Structure 1
Amino acid sequence: MPPRQHINGAKNTLLGISKHGNSYLRCLLIQGAKSVVSRASTKSDKLSQWINPIVQTRRHNRSSVAYANKMARMAWAITVSGEEYSPV
């Protein structure tokens, strides 16, 4: 099941991680995101630049869930398209 989203004619709204589905996979995504978010302030890659402003406004736990959501969307897109992951 893909991450949730709401689409109307004008705007595509990405929703959060739901508690449906595999709870163990969701736990692993959030644990991995917490480790990435804790080290993002010292890095300068594109994803770290994306997460650092979110950490400043929403703090560590909420930004970790946001990053886990982003990882889940990337994994879903890679799985559906069949392409290899290539960091930008």
Structure 2
Amino acid sequence: MNTIRVVGIDIAKSVFQVCVWMVDGSIAYNKKISRSKLLDCVRHFEPGTLIAMEACSTSHFWGRTFRAMGYNVRLIPAQHVKAFVRSQKNDAN
């Protein structure tokens, strides 16, 4: 059975990029989600799922919201996120 290992969320002004990484190393999906549909998208994950986001002012708000919903949230400092970018930076990469 494939289970979710990490949900990565790239926060933007009105459209968020949500990437779901499975335990076996595969990417289940990588989608753009509007601000109004983000909570509905996250509610589909099991409680206790790890959600990772780049630390910024709005990620603290979303982090508190997701923690209240029962998820584990990790905010990653920007200097550590930069190491994961292999090519031109955009939300999908």
Which TM bucket (shorter chain)?
under 0.3
Q: TM-score, normalised by structure 1?
A: 0.26
Q: Which structure carries more strand by proportion? A: 2
Q: Which structure carries more helix by proportion? A: 1
The structure whose Rg is larger is 1
Could you say which structure has the greater relative contact order, defined with CA pairs below 8 angstroms and 6 or more residues apart?
A: 1
Q: TM-score, normalised by structure 2?
A: 0.26
